[in-house]
């Protein structure tokens, strides 16, 4: 039996840049952020992941690309 327990998840913003398009809710400018997440098991780093998130700069909603 294997139990994996994550003690801490840390996110750090690497960069921000304007993205094409407009927010469907308020019409504001869309902003793309590259975020690096780091999962830790107590003090040992387990997993690093970099992903891009899209947010509206006016209403601060997280946007999903479909």
Question: In the structure, what pLDDT confidence band is assigned to residue 55 with cuts at 50, 70 and 90?
Answer: very high
Note whether residue 49 is domain-resident: yes
Question: In the structure, what pLDDT confidence band is assigned to residue 23 with cuts at 50, 70 and 90?
Answer: very high
Note whether residue 66 is domain-resident: no
Note whether residue 43 is domain-resident: yes
Q: Who has greater pLDDT, 7 or 33?
A: 33
pLDDT at 39: 79
Cα separations in angstroms, 33 against 20, 56, 61: 13, 11, 13
With beta carbons less than 8 A apart as the criterion, state whether 49 and 16 touch: no
Note whether residue 65 is domain-resident: no
Q: Residue 25 sits in which domain range? A: 7-60
- What is the total count of domains within the chain? 1
Q: Who has greater pLDDT, 9 or 29?
A: 29
Q: Tell me the two tokens of residue 45.
A: 């780093």
Note whether residue 1 is domain-resident: no
Burial track 26-60 (b if 16+ CB lie within 10 A, e otherwise):
eeeebbebeeeeebeeeeeeeeeeeeeebbbeeee
Q: What is the reported pTM?
A: 0.69
Average pLDDT over residues 36-62: 85
Q: Who has greater pLDDT, 51 or 44?
A: 51
Secondary structure (3-state) at 46: strand
Note whether residue 14 is domain-resident: yes
């Amino acid at each position: 039996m294997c139990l994996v327990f994550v003690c801490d998840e840390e996110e750090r913003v690497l960069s921000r840049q304007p993205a094409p398009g407009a927010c469907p809710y308020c019409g504001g400018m869309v902003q793309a952020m590259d975020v690096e997440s780091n999962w830790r098991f107590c003090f040992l780093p387990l997993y690093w992941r970099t992903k891009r998130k899209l947010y509206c700069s006016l209403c601060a909603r997280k946007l999903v690309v479909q």
